[in-house]
Amino acid sequence: MSFSPLAAVKTESFEPPNPQEFYQRFFGHGDWSFTRPMVLFLVVGVVVCTFLVMTTRKAAIVPSKGQWLTEQVYAPIRNGIAQDIIGTKEFLKYVPLLFAVFCTLLLSNLMSVIPFFQFPPTGRVAFPIALTLFVYVIYQAIAFKRKGVVGYLKSLIPPGLPMWIRPMILVLEIITYFITRPVTLALRLFGNMFAGHMLLLLFITGGEFMLLHQDGFQYKIFGIGSFLMAVLMTLFEILIEFLQAYIFTLLAATYIADSIATEH
Amino acid sequence: MQGNIAILGYGLSAIGPGVGIGLIFAAYINGVARQPEARGMLQSIAILGFALAEALAIFGLVLAFVFK
Amino acid sequence: MSGVRMSQQHDDAPRPVEPKKPTEPSKYAQSGGLFGTFLASSSDWKTERPGMTESVGVSALSYLLSGPVVFALIGYGLDRWLHTGFLVPIGLLAGMALSIYLIWFRYGAE
């Protein structure tokens, strides 16, 4: 096949990006292969750890630039999420967890648009599942420790319900607390990252195909339009990435707050 | 091209609730901005309206899986 | 430092119209106001943990998802067991009604 734009025939048909392209293996076989999101997640971990340690090791009252940046991220997590949701009494214990989750998620979402990395590890479903499992085990352990098994089940039913409807509500609440909440927590993050990256891929590969492999004036215009759309969508994606990291942290805090709450 | 037309139907059925939820929360934000002290009361109403509108979207989702 | 502050004050001084900064409404809005806290005090999660208000929508969504799915699955199992065909839609409707009732009971009732 010829890649020359002068070739009069349409050299190849357009292959839209498919989910198989998200599986990028470096070495290894099958379940034990070492893939691109794994590398990126390792990079995220190393960068987050070194940045946080470096900027907070010599914490001063008059902050340096790095410390200022860390505090700008830390303050909304501590005051806006942890304190407002978990309550002023015991929120401090959970701030490190929420802050670590937020930083990791933010950077691994942003990997989608950082040049040379350009792949979100959270666009592979295993990474949101692992993070969700981490949060899930913590909040269920807190709830069982605080309330006991019977107390936990009792606390699921809001008081004042009529007697005959309580068994059905209990079934609904158990399914919601133990299955629906973690599943939606993981799938919300995965779906947003996966679909966003897919959209960028589609606009860029489509624009490239129309510009270079198709003849005709109208294709050039559509190709340029497609690239412009890709730029716009990249800006939109950055917003979504911040938002999803924030929402994941917010919901994790909500679930922790629900499991330490003693009322209802 | 192949696929299930029920999924297409779900996409169409999600338009209405999407618009509806947008309207509900627009009205809620408007109300809170005008009268911040009524927030607690407005929120209950907004959540109820949201639940009723969202129920239609979830009906669509479940029916798309049930009646394949 | 003090010199910088002095000059800033000096800069601010020639504007006489501004001193009444509307600090009260913003504080009012943040705390929900006196009347707001009074209204919200009927259910304690609103006053004790003010941030919870934002995530109620998501909780409502997960109730709405699990209601019809769970009861439709129960209906499907009963259908397989009893060799009938009408229990799936009934479960669907009942689950939806139940989850809306639960949301109304938890978050809607004043």
CB B28 within 8 A of CB B67: no
pLDDT tens profile A57-92? 887 788 888 899 999 999 999 988 888 888 888 889
In the structure, do chain A and chain C come into contact, i.e. share 3 or more CB pairs under 8 Å? yes
Q: What is the pLDDT of residue A11?
A: 53
Which portions of chain A are predicted below pLDDT 70? 1-12, 262-264
Tokens standing for A62?
A: 């008059």
Q: What is the pLDDT of residue C51?
A: 61
* Chain A stretch 219-248, residues whose beta carbon is closer than 8 A to a beta carbon of chain C: 247
Does A14 map to a domain?
no
Q: Look at C55 and A251 and tell me if their CB atoms are within 8 Å.
A: yes
Strand ranges inside chain A, DSSP E: 25-27, 34-35
Q: What is the pLDDT of residue C50?
A: 61
Does A83 map to a domain?
yes
Angstrom distance (rounded) from CA A95 to CA A175? 28
Angstroms from C21 CA to nearest CA on chain B: 19
Mutate one of C26, C27, C96 to test the B interface: name it (highest B CB count within 10 A). C96
Q: Which chains would you list as touching C if contact means 3+ CB atom pairs under 8 Å?
A: A, B
CB A190 within 8 A of CB A122: yes
Does A7 map to a domain?
no
- Identity of the amino acid at A116: F
Q: Is residue C91 within 8 angstroms of chain B, CB to CB?
A: no
What is the CB neighbour count within 10 angstroms for residue A63?
Answer: 15
**Mean pLDDT by groups of 10 residues along chain B of 68 residues:** 80 91 93 88 85 85 74
Angstrom distance (rounded) from CA A19 to CA A161? 46
Give backbone dihedrals phi and psi of A56, rounded to 5 degrees, phi first: -110, -5
Residue A92: give the domain boundaries. 19-260
Centroid of chain to Cα A58 = 30
Q: What is the pLDDT of residue A263?
A: 57
Q: What is the pLDDT of residue C13?
A: 43
Give backbone dihedrals phi and psi of B12, rounded to 5 degrees, phi first: -65, -40
Q: Look at C51 and A85 and tell me if their CB atoms are within 8 Å.
A: yes
Q: What is the pLDDT of residue C31?
A: 41
Residue of C nearest to A86 (CA): C49
Measure CA of the first residue to CA of the last residue in chain B; give whole Å.
18
pLDDT-based confidence at residue C6 (cuts at 50, 70, 90): very low
Q: What is the pLDDT of residue A80?
A: 85
Report chain B residues whose CB lies below 8 A from the CB of C105: none
Does A1 map to a domain?
no
pLDDT-based confidence at residue C3 (cuts at 50, 70, 90): very low
Residue of A106, A170, A133, A167 whose CA lies nearest to A255? A133
Angstrom distance (rounded) from CA A76 to CA A173? 31
Q: Look at C70 and A184 and tell me if their CB atoms are within 8 Å.
A: no
Q: Look at C66 and A175 and tell me if their CB atoms are within 8 Å.
A: yes
Q: What is each CA distance from B28 to A40, A96, C57, in whole angstroms?
A: 41, 34, 13
Q: What is the pLDDT of residue A224?
A: 92
pLDDT tens profile B4-15? 788 888 888 899
Q: Look at B55 and C88 and tell me if their CB atoms are within 8 Å.
A: no
Q: Look at B55 and C100 and tell me if their CB atoms are within 8 Å.
A: yes
Q: What is the pLDDT of residue C12?
A: 44
Q: Measure CB to CB from residue B66 to each of C61, C72, C96 and give the nearest one.
A: C72
Angstroms from C23 CA to nearest CA on chain A: 20
* Chain B stretch 26-65, residues whose beta carbon is closer than 8 A to a beta carbon of chain C: 36-41, 43-45, 47-48, 50-52, 54-55, 58-59, 62-63
Q: Look at C51 and A175 and tell me if their CB atoms are within 8 Å.
A: no
Q: Is residue C61 within 8 angstroms of chain A, CB to CB?
A: yes
* Chain A stretch 71-110, residues whose beta carbon is closer than 8 A to a beta carbon of chain C: 80-81, 83-87
Residue of A nearest to C65 (CA): A180
Residue of A85, C99, A162, A168 whose CA lies nearest to B54? C99
Q: What is the pLDDT of residue A25?
A: 83
Burial class (CB in 10 A: 0-12, 13-18, 19+), B66: middle
Residue of C nearest to B33 (CA): C29
DSSP letter, residue A25: E
* Domains in chain B, CATH or no CATH each: 5-66 (1.20.20.10)
Domain count, chain A: 1
Q: What is the pLDDT of residue C10?
A: 44
Angstrom distance (rounded) from CA C70 to CA C74? 6
Q: Which chains would you list as touching B if contact means 3+ CB atom pairs under 8 Å?
A: C
Q: Is residue B66 within 8 angstroms of chain C, CB to CB?
A: yes
pLDDT tens profile C16-65? 444 444 433 333 334 443 333 333 333 445 555 666 666 777 888 889 98
pLDDT tens profile C72-103? 899 999 999 999 888 988 998 899 999 999 98
CB B22 within 8 A of CB B54: no
A184 vs C110, higher pLDDT? A184
Q: Look at C98 and A172 and tell me if their CB atoms are within 8 Å.
A: yes
Residues 6+ apart with CB under 8 A from B43: B28, C46, C53, C56
Q: Measure CB to CB from residue B37 to each of C33, C61, C99 and give the nearest one.
A: C33
